Amino acid sequence: MKNQYINRELSWLDFNARVLQEAADPTVPLIERLRFLGIFSNNLDEFFQVRFATVKRLSQSEKTGRKALKGIDASELLDQITKVVIDLQQKSAQTLKNIEEELAKENINFITEKEVSDSQKAFLHDYFIQQINPALVTVMLTDKPQDFSDNTAFFVVRMEGTHLGMEEKAVHALIELPPDLNRFVVLPSEGAQQSIMLLDDVIRYHLHLIFGMFNYTKIEAHMVKITRDAELDLIEDVGKSYIDKIIESVKDRVVGDPVRLVYDRKINPETLTYVMQKLGIASSDSLIPGGRYHHRRDYMNFPSLNRKDLSYAKFPPLPIKGLSLEESILSAVGQKDYLMYTPYHNFSYVIKFLREAALDPDVKTIKITLYRLAKVSHVVSSLINAAKNGKKVLVQIELQARFDEENNISFAEKLEAAGVQLIFGVPGLKVHTKICVIERLEGKKMRRYGFISTGNFNESTAKIYTDYTLFTSHQKILKDVQKVFNFFEVNFKLKKYKHLIVSPHYTFSSLSRLIDNEIEQHKAGKPARIRLKLNNITNYKIIDKLYQASSAGVPIDMIVRGVCCLVPGVKGMSENIKVISIVDKFLEHPRVYLFENGGDPKMYISSADLMTRNIDNRVEVACPILDPQLQKELLDTFMISWNDNVKARLVNGKEQNSFVSTDTPSLRSQWAMYEYFKNQLA
């Protein structure tokens, strides 16, 4: 059937448009709107570094890329992407303008270098001399080759009429925005008025202090931003360790092929051509015209300005009912399973579990997988503490976690120095599963305790990402978890799992059986329904299975935050499938698979999205939720999200990204979720 699937890249851009909707939403607090604008920009940066770069590689190969992109020519897709991105960038610029106008009504004003008052000059002069100037990297451009770092915003400075014997041509220089400085300079308030200057304009205001020696007659500075291909190419050198290969590949990323140049529309055309020549950009498909400012991802860290009325109210993390941070967590988990749902629940339970295991003299081994870690990681310090207490600690750390490679290498070195045994994954596979198992000597037998999560063991993201973590002492589940760690160490032997669904060997076949079972249950007149909560679904084989279930009459409810290649609501193919997406204060991150199974539900939490990479090219784990009370909790929380009629959008329908509208009272799922867990405690 034609139009069976939505192109992955275009679907991703639809997702980022939902993020931009939040920035444009007048019901969202103003400072939060700025931060959503930053998230939109940051997402776009990563899209160009990874997905756009991949499509560009295909378009430049000898083959057209039509097969790899499921029927669409790579060059044609590049053109479509560029058109969509330019449109989104224009909407982004207009959204920023609207926000700034609204902020002005709140006595918060962005000023440029041309609007500095006499009373602000001294402050700005001192701030520039003491904070900015020492951190600036300024490079005079010559005919010699020079490197532009990746994903960095630069001023291209053009000087004319200098006294250095170069009057016949312009002199150019680059100024790199210092990444360690706050992009937003908050000036001393004047009465009720609060003025803010972007770092860019503070630099523009002081160009004379940087380039005064040139005695120019005209100077101008326009911003450009270069984005490079961020794919890691691991060098095949048997003489180098795995860590050394990753380190070298990360360094090479800085000089990868350019995939995007965003530039100020007002830049001198000669200067733009000069910069393109320096970068080796020949085609216009890499050019994105923009406004005066780039690197809008910095708005993610826009200051609160002590204006609580312009930000979201905080949700203090709640305790898990029946689980105490002041008593033994191992003892409690030994009695029953617990389900944590961050950020509504306190992530400290993970740290408490590891700290207790590190100190307990009866705990003999700790095994854990690490993918993305906080810059200051209490998880890592707990594992180091355990090793120093004589525990056998084994850590599988994924060095190829994209954009976290350097952070993970640093932690790997610290763990190794403390005596922790490190495993760097399986050749050809990323380890994306989030699992931990410990062994504790009780009497004469070893008993296992552990946790399995949908998200990273990361204290920072646990405050803003929604994720489930199951704490359990279910010995058969944890025996399977132990087999996953055995697979890391001896990966030529295929393991069999009784409870877990494990990629890359079993996810597709297991999900296929579960879907087929729902079809059979429906045919038998028994309760049948599939409910899925995901970040992304792109695997066509899984999509086809869902189409098959829909055609057989099985209702399918899907909450997909990001990329969705499935087309719902098509008669004869997917009329029984509905897809929504929720974008709100927290980033929806869990993966949940719920199957009605004739009234005896089968429920799983998982680290795996339904993407080919998760199914075939990564080690992933989906874990069953067996406790009836926790099953109810999992279904309750799914239904709270499913019934959202404030922040839910319809995906891949007639009107893309239109908000869900119902006759029921307003329900904003993330707010309702917090109240759900709060009421549990009451």
Catalytic residue numbers, as ranges? 432
Tell me the C-alpha distance between 499 and 156, whole Å: 58
Q: How far is Cα 672 from Cα 682, in angstroms, rounded to an integer?
A: 15
621, 606 contact by CB (below 8 A): yes
What are the structure tokens assigned to 626, written together?
Answer: 């067996």
Of 264, 292, 287, 290, give the one whose Cα is nearest residue 276.
287
φ/ψ (deg, to 5) at 569: 75, 20
Asked if 564 and 536 touch (Cβ cutoff 8 Å), the reply is yes
Three-state secondary structure readout of 240-306: CCHHHHHHHHHHHHCCCCEEEEEEECCCCHHHHHHHHHHHCCCCHHHEEEECCCCCHHHHHHCCCCC
Nearest to 472 by CA among 337, 624, 365: 337
Q: From residue 431, how far is each of 226, 243, 249, 482 by CA, in Å?
A: 31, 16, 19, 15
Which of 586, 534, 539, 583 shows the shortest CA–CA distance to 560? 534
The rounded distance, in Å, linking the Cα atoms of 566 and 4 is 7
With contact defined as beta carbons under 8 Å apart, do 151 and 45 qualify? yes
Query: 310 — phi, psi (to 5°)?
Result: -105, 10
Tokens of 59: 């378009």
CA separation for the pair 396, 585 (Å, rounded): 32
Nearest to 412 by CA among 551, 247, 238: 247
- Number of neighbours of residue 181 by Cβ within 10 angstroms: 14
The letter for the amino acid at 433 is T
Helix (H) or strand (E) holding 541: helix 540-551
Q: 677-681 contacts: CB < 8 A, separation 24 or more?
A: 677/318, 677/341, 677/344, 677/345, 678/318, 680/321, 681/318, 681/319, 681/321
Looking from the CA of 447 toward its CB, the CA atoms found within 13 Å total: 15
Q: Measure CA 218 to chain center.
A: 43
Smallest CA-to-CA distance from 230 within 213, 202, 209, 251 is with 251
Residue 497's alpha-carbon distances to 24, 211, 615, 629, in angstroms, are 48, 67, 16, 24
Q: What is the DSSP letter of 505?
A: T
Cα-trace Rg, the chain: 27
